[in-house]
Structure formats: structure tokens, C-alpha cells
Structure 1
Amino acid sequence: MLFKIKALSLSLLTAFSIPAAFANNTHYFNRSASFLVCSQLDKNCHTDIETSAEILYADKSGKTLVYTDSPAKQIGFVDITNLHEPQGKKVVKINGEPTSVAIKDRFALVGVNTSKDYVNTSGELQIYHLDSFELVASLDLGGQPDSVAISPDGQFAAIAIENERDEDKNKGALPQMPAGYLMIVDTQSDNPKDWTLRKVALTGLSGISPEDPEPEYVSINENNVAAVTLQENNAIALIDLAKGEVLNHFSAGEVNLTQIDASEKKPLKIQLNDKLDKIPREPDGVVWLDTEHFATANEGDWKGGSRGFSIFNTQGKVIWDSGNALEHLAVKFGHYPEKRSENKGNEPENIAFGIFGDEKLLFINSERASLVFVYNVNDPTNPQFKQALPTGVAPEGAFVIPERNALVVAAEADSREDQIRSTISIYEYHNQAPNYPTLQSVEDSGLPIAWGALSGLAADKKEANILYSIEDSFYGHNRIFVIDVASKPAQIIHTISIKDTQGLLSKTFPEQKKLVNEDRSVNIDPEGIATDNDGNLWIASEGAGTVGDKKRPVSTHNFLLKLNKAGEILQVITLPETVNNMQVRFGFEGVAVENNKVYVAFQAPWGDEKHPRLGIYDLGKQDWEFVYYPLDPVESQAGGWVGVSDLSPQGNGIFWVLERDNRAGPDAAIKRIYEINLSEFKPNSVLTKKLVRDLMPDLAKANGLIPEKIEGLTTTQDGRVFIVNDNDGVDDNNGETQLIEIMKK
């Protein structure tokens, strides 16, 4: 157990620094394009049909990709000659479910599951020509295939025949027959019809249930030795492909984790104060680093999942383990999936390796954090974290193309209803600074400050480089984030807890017991934040529910909070009862303070009104006036709605309004800033507005998908304009936060 303790402490030491002796500090990856898999069905992705890229592979030229699309039972071909403008070439329907793909010469080898059920398993290796797209041969595998790999010399293919377990049978417990095995394909012939098969039994090896090996993933080194993960058995086998013999097999071992979040107790809060003991690694993806070392992504599928990755030697010894490092990095970058805390955390799914210049780099796909963690492994006993790359939701397959300085990653999740589209992300390695993350947190007491779901943005009245943001109701114990934008990426340097120390919120809403916790922290829905000239902070909290809606009745009202610098509530301001009686669940969003008045934007119209309100509360008179803001009509091909997200004062009664639709990716159409003049207004009138900026080009520069919720807008004291999006707490969201300086006034 000594090596585990050493590995855990080492991971903490290395996760946040990159010593120059181990890493190239001038060359990094940046995303150059995102290919929409749905564009193979409709060029504008105007389709609700689920389609997904799961596993992908590039040909020798590095210019053609082939990916598996399990939901649509097809494989897709993509031309990446131009890494900035990938083009769909074709999709080919498959008789069965494609599970994996690899390429030898001009042939795509596709593992296809044709099983009727978990007991009557069957599958094929279907071989397609890359130029004609035609099926040229099909080999009976005798079972359900998972991973397919090609040896570096092209002499062999190896296929993990998993014959996966039924998770609903006996709670998924092993054993479940039939047993899986490794199928070797001798691919020396130029004609796939002449290829032959050899079966290697994997029963009786290391594992929890040796009679049911459950092979998952396979990788082949230059000596034609295959490393095969037996995931549910928490074991690994090494097979000599030329001889068809098992060379070694061993347990993947267990990990003791500390300073992680293993709770989803509501109200949600990321807290790195839990521990898990003796967690089986249960590796999924595996890749060779050289002929003596390989790395595993320890996803877990049954009883385990160690939330990290490990490096083994061929004797089965763990020479390095990431411990809690990936969990901490996900927290640092705002990508931690809090709703997966009781499961497998960030959930490392797959892993790839490539040599770029003088760097040996390992790429770990985190399925739930939607990140690729990049590590320098020039010294496999002491990996160094290099950078993190944003992906689509649920990255699965990764493939390196060193000769083109490229990495490609397939993200499989696809749900138009949830604003998620499956993508293939392309990254280029050049002499450049990384452009992601745009925001990260510093450490507090040795741990990264946890953050996410940013909703609202405000600038400090004195310090030009200080911004404030808030977390919305996805999390409880609500906090304000203090952001320093002097550096790139910007840094969350401090948090301020909102506290009802004087009991003002409790007294205002005595029936709402869940609003205030025992420690006087609050559980509200902060959507807007503002600063005033006295150094106070103002929060707009959105109400929940709609009057008269039986499915979503009103549970909380909208209100404003005035806070001091310590986050203590000094004042609670509510709406008039006549307005509350019209409440719709799209309530308070942006807030601003100017000339002893508080301005608050409603997201959408209430009741029978045609336009959303903008409320003006006079702090001296202590009364409300309202005007109406005219929204743009819906322009998205997918319909939806348009609403207000934030309000930013520009001085002399001029305000900028952040307006957006509720659509993302190819369906996004409206992300705009408009100007309104409130220096003089007639109560209950409809305002006029003029366009300041269309944000779609700004958002497109990240070369990802356009995010749905652009929620924050502010202008600093020196005239810099920033926007930020809400990543929904990484729930049905890829977790990407784009804090962007879009212009200077």
C-alpha cells in the first residue's frame, strides 16, 4: 500500500504545476473546429434524430476520419484536410450496432454487435473501403465486440469480445455467461477476405469472477503485445498476438481517495472533504506509452471507478496514480459534475497517447466533466499536468495525429431537446498559449475554490480588474465570486457567502424555511449582481413557479438583496403584491444600481403582458415604477423563446441589456447587447432600443458550440466589456465557461 500513498501525495504536488524540465511551456493545444455529427443528416442540424460519434480513427494521411454512430446504426466519414473546416463525406448504414473502429491501409475495421440479447451474443468484424465506402468483407466474431485495435506494423487486429453483462440481472453481479474473450485477426494479406481469426480465452485469469472476464478495451504495442482491460473484474491481461498466448495478468488494484466530494446531499454544494477507501480502479480505456509501460483510464462500471488514471509496467506494478488530481482539476476549471459525486465523479472514460515534438503526451477523456486532461509523460514515473481541453458532452473516443500536430475527440451525447449535439472536436498543437480555460480558481487552504453555474456579472467601482459573479440555484449556500481579470486565464481569488445574519430574509419570508440554513447561509436563486458607489453588493433573486400552474406552482417570490462587503444581508426588497399575483417562473435576471435607484430586468413577460418588465425601485421614496422592454422575435430554427439575461449601467441613464434565446449550438440565433435610455422615461411605457453588438461572432471564436445561457454582462471602470455564460453546474452541459472580453468602449 505504500506506493498508493506515495502516488496520491505526488498527484497533489504535480497537478497544478509544470516544471520546465518535464514539459514544453511554449507549445499547447487549442481547439480549431467542432464538427457537428447531426450535419451528416441535415446541413443545418435541423433534425431531432439522435446521432452520435463515439469511437473514431484517422487514416494514414490524417485527413479522413471514420467514427461509429451507435444510435443511428451507422458509421460516418469526415474530411479533415482543413483542420479548421471539417466536412462530412458520407454515412453508411450498418447491419447491427457499431461499437468500435480502426483503420488498416484503406480499410475501416468496424466491430458490430448483432446480439439478440445478453445471452445469445453475436457479432461481426465488418470491413469497409475508405474510398468506395463499400463493405468488402465480414468476419464472424462469435460474440459481442467492444474495442478494436490495429498493431503498429499492421500485421494484427485485436478485438475485445466483451459479451457484456445485463446490469438489471441480479443487480449486474458477475458471473454472467457467456464469457468474453480476445479475438486476434491475422491481417497480413492485402485482401480482407483472406484474413483469419484466432480466439484467445481469457477465463481463469485475475479478477473478481475469472469465469466471466468482461474484456473492455485493447491497445497494442510495437512488440505486438496487447493490453486488455477486464473492467468489471478489475484486472488487466497482456497477450502475445503472434503466439496467441497470455503473457501476464494481474489485478488493477485499489485506491484510497481523500479530499474528494462523494455526496449529492441537497442543497448541492461542492465540498472536497470526503474520502473513499479501497476503491477498485476498474479500468476502461488503455494505451501503451512504450513497450514497458501502459496507462489506464479508471472509469469504473460495477463497484469501482477511482476517478483518475494509472500508469503500470508490464509486471503489473502501478508506477504512478493520479489519485484525486483529476477531481481537483475539474473543480479548478469549473467542470466538476456535482450531480455525479455519489457515482464516479469526473469519470475518466478513455485514454490516448502521442508524441508531439519533444513531448510524450497522454490524453485522458473525462466523460462527466467533458474535459480532456493532457499530461506530459516523458518520465512515466512522474507525469506532469499540461492543460485541459473542453469537449462536447461525454467525450468517448480520442485519436492523435502527431504528423499533423492534431488531436481529435468524439463526444457522444446528443439531445436536441437538452441543447446538446454530438461533436468531433479538433485541436492543434502549436507555439501558442492555451485559450482555455478562460476562468479558473485559485486554492484556498490547499484546495481549489469550487465554482460553476455563473449567472450575472458586475464590475468593481474602484478596481478595474475586479469583477463579481454569482452562482444560481443549482447550488445551495449561495456565494459571490471575486474575479481578477488582470491575468489570463482570469482567476477566482475569493468567495463571499451570502448570510442572513440579521434574520431579515427569514422575517420577510417566514414560511420559506429552506431559504436560510442553520449557519445563516442562504439557498436562493441569484441571477443578477450589481455594485454601488458605497461598496455594497446587490443581488436579484429569481422566484420559482407560476401563478395558476398546478405542475409548477409558486414556491418563492422574486426579491432584491442589499449586501455589505462581507455578504451580510442589509435589506430585502420585494415586489408589490399586485405584481406578485402575476408571477411567471421567468422572473428577475439582471440588476443595476444608479442614482439611488435599483433597476431590475424581468426575463420574460408576465401574465397577459406582451413585453417583460423592467422594474425601477427608488431607494429614497421606497416605491416601484415599471417600464417594458421589447424583445426580439424568435429566430431559431428550433423555435423556443427569447428573454433578458442581464443589465449593465453605462452612465447618465444609459443601460445595456443582454438578450438571448434559449437555444445552443446550431440552433442558437439571438445573443445580443442592446442599449436603452432610462434618463427620462414614462412609467408603463414600452422602451426603444438599439443594437450595440451581436455576440454570435464573439462566441464562435472559441471554435466550440455556441452556449445557450449567456447570463452575465458588465463594463469595467476602464471601459472593458465582459460577458460570461452559465454552465448549468455541468448537468446536461459540457461545463464550458466562456468569460470573454468582447470590446473596449
Structure 2
Amino acid sequence: MKLSTAFLLAQATSHLATALNEPSANQIQRRRYAKSSKSKGGKDPEPPAPEPEDPSPYFKRASNFFICSQQGASCGSDDATSAEIVAATPDGMTLIYTDASRGGVGRVDISDVNNPLGTGFFDVGGEPTSVDIHGDYAVVVVNTSDDYVNTSGELHVFSIADWKLLKTFQLGGQPDSVAWSADGKYVVVAIENERDEDLGDGGLPQMPPGFVVVFDTMNAAPAMWTQRNVGVTGLPGVLYPEDPEPEFVSINSQNMAVVTLQENNAVVLIDLATKAVAGSFSTGQVALTNVDIEEEGVITQVHPLTRLREPDGVVWADDFHFITANEGDMDGGSRGFTVFHKDGTVVYESNSELEYITASIGHYPEERSENKGNEPENVAVGMLDGKPVAFIVSERSSVIFVYDISDVTSPVFLQVLPCGQGPEGAKYISSRGLLVAAAEVDDRDIGARGVISIYDIATSEKPVYPYIIAPGIGWGASSGLSFGSNTKTLYTIEDSFYGKSRIFRMNAEGHPLVIEEAIRIMDTEGVLEAAAPGFFVNADKTVNLDPEGVTLDSKGMLWVASEGNGSAGDGSAPNVLVQVNMMGVIQKAVLLPPEIAAKKLKWGLEGVAFLDDGSDDGLLVACLQRAWKDEVHPMVLAWSITDNDWVGYFRYPLDKVESPNGGWIGLSDVSVHAGMIYILERDNMGGPDARVKKVYKVDPKTLSWNGEVATKELVYDLLPILKTVSQGLTPEKVEGMAVTSNGMYINNDNDGVDDYNGATYVSFIPLIL
């Protein structure tokens, strides 16, 4: 049986309350995809070998263009940049994007999709909100308003050949989006005159009302264009008809424009030839089932939720149907997308599907559960292998969902694509078969830089992304990594971003890796509470550790390294090693030696690994992330499972900081293979600022474990491969490593999709070790 990535992800949508339901106090959450079970003795089951699949065309991310590179190739500036809406020249070789942070538009040469180059930035005298291109011209709409009452805006027309400003039109209000008809005859601008969210309760109505501007271009020079306002107040189906707030616009081949009125939960259709409203209707509400509506640190997709759609982005799928991205803004947000017939009939509703998919690939934003979940922002259409497809842009999950819309009444999920953080706009470039997406979040302090992602098409058995899937299991923030009893099985854990700690067992055969089991850690026997009273155990006996490392010992027991917090003497959570059986029940809890714990600072236990030292039960090797009080180097400690006591420690010499943004360097994981100790060392920088992501080894035969400074030997510099798999969006927190005879696996912590784009990369690096 062939198990495609799309099939496995589709399984996530069928694992509703049964699969993601929160266990009761005396239950362990153990979800399996494969029909396998633990054999006696704690050995991992042998995963079935996957059958090869027939190659198919998929989109893949070819590159990311960093908006900050327009200010210098190294992206060394702290100044915020952004990319919201992007358009392409007819030949598909040049992109134009809006950058509201800098008050202008940028130009990018993408003739080589693997190496996009910035070719200029142009001030537009205000806040650019949208751009579109047709033929020889680009139109940019700019908000020049003084405030929410005294609104104004402009439409600039540029020559794309030399980027000269040819004409400026006054719009009479604050523009939000612009679209050019396919035949070049019309330019349509949605004038939102947006509400002041800080005025009163932030609700509607607020004056002045918005409207729509239609330009007759006649395919002529801009000096010949004429403009006409189309009023959209007083329409049926609109919640606040006196304040419509037009948001986004799309035009079909019959020159019918559809305009979303987001806060009003409505759309309006405008016949561009007559400049008359052809209809309007409410977009209604969606009764969702099995979604997460609580931000309690656990992904619990079990709740009902009814919400207005409040669509933002919209695009025509054909001349009769359009698709809305139901982001929500004021009172709604239904977390999915809808296909409407132009008469207002809903012909397809995605319901909770996007929520399930994001949870199964580690991109569910738990910290947005009480708001709008994954938050579909925009939508575009294009082609893949001769089939029409829709691209649904998720702002909070930072992904794009690709759907086959050959039958527009029954879209079929195909794949998901990673983006920069906070994608806003997407554009399919038909002349080259490319997709581009603009992501607006740019904050160097958190390692997020605004990018335009460029996707081309490749033929492969499976899509490149995601690297991990978990049908029916919501997950994220994976940290340490370790092999099971065979190299076909990997274990990872979720860190303290989530409030009820779990260990994940993954099938490591093939791509992507599949999480087949989630083991909820439980303190049903009171072991952890006795060792560290009042810190970790929840009322239902689940635990709220900060798991950072995991390993399997010779007896088939799992050990988890939990990082403490705070400093010694301040009453903060201690660092602890926890032994867990295969049912998730804690068997032992080991605190650090008092003389070492007395030096505690933050940056505590990170990785743990099993070392066979010839004794009955062997040793555990555990590393601290950074140097503690009065120390120059971080410590790597050894605990004897046989003697139930600490053996000692050595000090590990760190590399020097190399990042132009400063920061620090620390340890992230430890692994043991063939008697050698492997250490994962990284800086706390991501993206263009990342410099140190390396694996070193230490020979334990040279150690006395009496606090000496070890000698380390470089095994592998991870930075090149991390840049390659992420197309330059190098993850900061490379926190997992598992070493075997023919290479190593590495993975990164995605921080629970909080202040990060959510991508998790797992790479196997073939080496002879």
C-alpha cells in the first residue's frame, strides 16, 4: 500500500475528537498510525518498509529573497522591513513588492529562481498597501491619510521598463487593495477607510465610509485613463451597510469584480463595464467541530465553535465561482476557506481541515487558539501539472496549502508549503509556472526577517516539506532526538511550550518521518513530586517539565533531560533527569549534585545520551547549555545508572561568537556512538545572522570526569545544510541530534509556532563515523 504525504495528512482530518481528545487523569495518550504495538522488553517495533511511489510534480521552495538585503547584502541592519503584496512582470522575471515599513516598493530580479537579486527600492510617499502589473505598467496604491477620519490615498502608475513614475491619481480615501483585469481594460481599487480599533469598542460603523474606484485604462497610456467611484453603501447582506469597508478585490475574465467587505462579513459584485453593483450577500457563518479554542498549552482539537467567516483575500476560481480566505477581523474568522457560486451559494466549505493539517505537521499556533487559529489570510490560483490549483495562505501558521480545484465544488488537498513568518500575499506566475509569497514579519531580535519565497515545480515521490507528519496527533516544539532500539525508530520530545509533556516515537524510514505514537509523561506513582515537590506535576498527574533531551537505555527505558529555570536560591524549577517507562510513567527522578545545582543559572540541562561504559546498566551523559555561576565553560555530566549516583563532569570549551548580531553560543544535544560522545553546539541566531551550528566529538577515554576541560574535534559544520534545507531561513534552535554508524539526524525546535515561522527541518547527514 502506498502512503503518500497527502494521504497521511488527509488522515489527520479524520482523526477528530477520538484522535486528539485530551486523556483523563488515569489515561496515557498513545496514538498510533501504524497497526503496531510495543513488544515485551520495551523494544521498538520494526516499522514496515514503505513502498516506493510514482513520481509526481509538486511545488517546492527554490529560494527566499530577504527584504533586508535591499539595505545591504549581509542583512546587517536592525531596521524593520516587510513584504506584504507581490506582483510579477509579464515575463515572470521581475517581482515588485510593497514594503509598508519603509514606505516604498522594491524590485527583485528572479531570472534565476535559486538566486533572486534585489534591484532597487523606491519611496512612494506614504504607506503602500497593494501592487499589480499588466503589460508595460505597474500600479501601486498608497495610503496617505492623516488619521482615520481625514483619509486620502493615491494610485501611482510606473513604467516597468525604467521604473519612472508616469502618473499619480488621487483616490479620495485610504486604499487597501488593487487589481488589474486580465484584458488590461480596468484597474479596481478597494477604498477601505478602515476603522480605528482604539475608538470606543473598535466596532462599526465609523465614518467616512469606504467605496470602490474603477479606472478605465482602455489599454492606453496612463494620461488617458479615467476614474469613477462606485458606492457600496446601503447594500443588502451587509452588517453595517453605512460603513462597508471594502478589503480585497479580484476580477474574472468577464470583468466582474468581487470585493470582500471583511468586517461586514459580506461580498459585493461589481460589473466593471457598467460600473454598477451587480449584487451583494452575506458570507454567513461556519459551525466548526473539534477545534482548539483554549490557550492552555495543550493542542486539544475537541471543541465546537461557530464563527462568521469575515473573509479577507478572495480570488475567482473561474467565471462563476470565487474562493475566500476566512481570516476574520472584528467578530469572526472561521479558520478555513470557502468556495462560493457568484449567486451566493456555498458550494464547498473547508470547515476545520486547515486546523487539522497544521496540527499534524507541527504548525498549529496554540497561542492563537482563543483568536482565529491558523488564520487564512489570502488566496491565489494557478496551475500544477495541467490542473487548476488554489493556494490558501495561512498567516499564523506560516504555510500555504495547495488544493486541486479541478472540481471547484470538491477541492482536494495536495501539499503544504513553508513560508517566512506571517505571509500576506501570494502570486502565481503563469508565464513560468512559479508561485511567490510575501511574508511581512521582520524582527531581527527574534531572528525573523521579511522574505519573498519563490516556489518552482519538481517531480518527486513526495513533497519536500513537511519533514515530520503526525496523523491525528497535534505536535510542535520538538527538541532532543535519539534512536530507539533500532535506527528505524527515533524519539523526540516537546519542550515547555506545551503544558503536559510528551515523548514522540517516529518511524524514521523514508520521507517524511511519521510520528506514530505520543506518550504522555505521567507521575502516577508520585516519584517526580517526591523529588521536586510543587514544581512539575499537574492535578491530573500529567507533568509540565521542560524536556530538552531524550535517550533510550540498555533496559528499554526512556530518560528525559528537563531544563530548569531561574537561578540558584530563587525558588525556581530545578534541572532533573527523569526515567520513564514505555507507558509514560515516571520511574525515577534525578536532581543535579547539590554543589553543581548551587551554581544554577538559566540555560540548564539540554541533551542526554546513554553511554555503555561496561557496567551493568551504563551511564547517562547530560549537558548544560551554557556556563553557570563562576564557570567559564558549560559542564557535561555523567550519571551511573548502575550505581545510582553521579560520576562527575567535564568542562566543554565553546567556539567563539561569530554572528554579526552578537548573541551567545551553547550546547543543544548530546549523542553517543561507538563509544564517542558527540556534542551539538549552536549560537542563538537564525536566518542571515546564524554562524555556529556544529557537531563536535569528545573521546571519553581521555576523560577523568573530574572537571577537566575536554579536547573536542570537529565532526561536521551543519550551517551549509541548514541553509540549503531552509533556503536561507536557518533555524536558530537546532536542538536534536542522533548519531549512527553511517551518519546523523538533526532537527530543530519550532518554538510552538510562537515568534517563529513554525518550520521543522529533519536532515540525515550521511557520514562514516
- Scaled to the shorter chain, the TM-score interval is over 0.9
The DSSP-based 3-state class of the residue aligned with 2:519 is: strand
**Any idea what the Cα deviations from partners look like across 1:342-395, whole Å, max 9, x if unmatched?**
000000000000123321000000000000000000001110000000000000
- Distance (whole Å) between structure 2 residues aligned to residue 554 and residue 637 of structure 1: 36
> What is the identity, as a one-letter code, of the residue corresponding to 1:619?
I
Corresponding position of 2:242: 211
Equivalent in 520, 524, 533 of residue 545 of structure 2: 524
Corresponding position of 2:626: 604
Is contact 1:456-1:711 (8 Å) kept?
yes
- Structure 1 residues 511 and 333: CA distance shift in structure 2, 3 A: closer
- Distance (whole Å) between structure 2 residues aligned to residue 250 and residue 14 of structure 1: 34
Equivalent in 116, 121, 137 of residue 91 of structure 1: 121
The answer as to 2:214 corresponding to 1:184 is yes
The answer as to 2:559 corresponding to 1:533 is no
Corresponding position of 1:542: 563
**Any idea what the Cα deviations from partners look like across 1:72-125, whole Å, max 9, x if unmatched?**
101000000011110000000121100000012222100100000000000000
Is contact 1:14-1:384 (8 Å) kept?
no
Is contact 1:710-1:726 (8 Å) kept?
yes
> What is the identity, as a one-letter code, of the residue corresponding to 2:637?
G
TM-score (normalizing by structure 2): 0.91
- Distance (whole Å) between structure 1 residues aligned to residue 100 and residue 391 of structure 2: 23
The DSSP-based 3-state class of the residue aligned with 1:154 is: coil
The Cα shift of 1:618 comes to 2.2
Corresponding position of 1:735: 758
The answer as to 2:298 corresponding to 1:264 is no
The answer as to 2:730 corresponding to 1:710 is no
Corresponding position of 1:109: 139
The Cα shift of 1:651 comes to 2.2
Corresponding position of 2:606: 589
Corresponding position of 1:51: 81
Equivalent in 446, 456, 462 of residue 480 of structure 2: 456
Is contact 1:11-1:323 (8 Å) kept?
no
- Distance (whole Å) between structure 1 residues aligned to residue 385 and residue 712 of structure 2: 53
The DSSP-based 3-state class of the residue aligned with 1:215 is: coil
The answer as to 2:515 corresponding to 1:492 is yes
Equivalent in 274, 284, 299 of residue 327 of structure 2: 299
Q: List aligned pairs for 1:140-155, cutoff 5 A.
A: 140-155=170-185
Q: Give the ranges of 4+ consecutive aligned residues of structure 1 lying more than 3 Å apart after TM superposition.
A: 9-16
Is contact 2:58-2:384 (8 Å) kept?
no
- Structure 1 residues 635 and 12: CA distance shift in structure 2, 3 A: closer
Is contact 1:298-1:348 (8 Å) kept?
yes
Equivalent in 308, 312, 327 of residue 284 of structure 1: 312
Corresponding position of 2:267: 236
With 586-595 and 73-82 compared, the bigger mean Cα shift is at 586-595
Corresponding position of 1:195: 225
The answer as to 2:451 corresponding to 1:423 is yes
Is contact 1:592-1:600 (8 Å) kept?
yes
- Distance (whole Å) between structure 2 residues aligned to residue 353 and residue 523 of structure 1: 43
**Any idea what the Cα deviations from partners look like across 1:476-531, whole Å, max 9, x if unmatched?**
1100000001131110000111111210111112243xx11122110010101111
The DSSP-based 3-state class of the residue aligned with 1:691 is: strand
With 731-740 and 616-625 compared, the bigger mean Cα shift is at 616-625
Between the aligned residues of both structures, percent identity stands at 46
Corresponding position of 1:560: 577
**Any idea what the Cα deviations from partners look like across 1:616-648, whole Å, max 9, x if unmatched?**
122334134111000000011111000000000
- Distance (whole Å) between structure 1 residues aligned to residue 584 and residue 682 of structure 2: 29
> What is the identity, as a one-letter code, of the residue corresponding to 2:407?
D
- Distance (whole Å) between structure 2 residues aligned to residue 509 and residue 647 of structure 1: 25
With 451-460 and 563-572 compared, the bigger mean Cα shift is at 563-572
Corresponding position of 1:692: 715
The answer as to 2:502 corresponding to 1:479 is yes
**Any idea what the Cα deviations from partners look like across 1:558-601, whole Å, max 9, x if unmatched?**
11111111121111111122211111101101101223211110
**Any idea what the Cα deviations from partners look like across 1:145-171, whole Å, max 9, x if unmatched?**
001000000000000000000111122
Q: List aligned pairs for 1:368-379, cutoff 5 A.
A: 368-379=396-407
Q: How many pairs are equivalent?
A: 713
The DSSP-based 3-state class of the residue aligned with 2:755 is: coil
- Distance (whole Å) between structure 1 residues aligned to residue 746 and residue 193 of structure 2: 49
- Distance (whole Å) between structure 1 residues aligned to residue 206 and residue 732 of structure 2: 43
- Distance (whole Å) between structure 1 residues aligned to residue 190 and residue 292 of structure 2: 33
- Distance (whole Å) between structure 2 residues aligned to residue 132 and residue 511 of structure 1: 68
The answer as to 2:691 corresponding to 1:669 is yes
- Distance (whole Å) between structure 2 residues aligned to residue 533 and residue 615 of structure 1: 19
Is contact 2:188-2:213 (8 Å) kept?
yes
The Cα shift of 1:126 comes to 1.0
Q: List aligned pairs for 1:300-449, cutoff 5 A.
A: 300-432=328-460, 433-442=462-471, 448-449=472-473
Is contact 2:12-2:470 (8 Å) kept?
no
Unaligned runs of 5+ in 1: 1-8, 17-23, 443-447
**Any idea what the Cα deviations from partners look like across 1:660-709, whole Å, max 9, x if unmatched?**
00000000000100011112413110001111001111112222411000
- Structure 1 residues 715 and 11: CA distance shift in structure 2, 3 A: closer
- Distance (whole Å) between structure 2 residues aligned to residue 124 and residue 619 of structure 1: 72
Is contact 1:544-1:557 (8 Å) kept?
yes
- Distance (whole Å) between structure 1 residues aligned to residue 606 and residue 122 of structure 2: 47
Corresponding position of 1:273: 302
Is contact 1:711-1:724 (8 Å) kept?
yes
The DSSP-based 3-state class of the residue aligned with 1:27 is: strand
- Distance (whole Å) between structure 2 residues aligned to residue 435 and residue 52 of structure 1: 26
The DSSP-based 3-state class of the residue aligned with 2:701 is: coil
**Any idea what the Cα deviations from partners look like across 1:303-354, whole Å, max 9, x if unmatched?**
0000000000110000000000000000011000000000000000000001
TM-score (normalizing by structure 1): 0.94
- Distance (whole Å) between structure 2 residues aligned to residue 647 and residue 364 of structure 1: 39
The Cα shift of 1:744 comes to 4.1
> What is the identity, as a one-letter code, of the residue corresponding to 1:520?
K
- Distance (whole Å) between structure 2 residues aligned to residue 511 and residue 269 of structure 1: 20
- Distance (whole Å) between structure 2 residues aligned to residue 638 and residue 103 of structure 1: 37
Corresponding position of 1:21: none
Is contact 1:14-1:385 (8 Å) kept?
no
The DSSP-based 3-state class of the residue aligned with 1:193 is: helix
**Any idea what the Cα deviations from partners look like across 1:164-199, whole Å, max 9, x if unmatched?**
001111221111010001100111153212211110
The DSSP-based 3-state class of the residue aligned with 2:69 is: helix
Equivalent in 58, 63, 80 of residue 33 of structure 1: 63
> What is the identity, as a one-letter code, of the residue corresponding to 2:450?
S
Corresponding position of 2:40: none
Root mean square deviation of aligned Cα? 1.7
The answer as to 2:597 corresponding to 1:573 is no
> What is the identity, as a one-letter code, of the residue corresponding to 1:608?
D
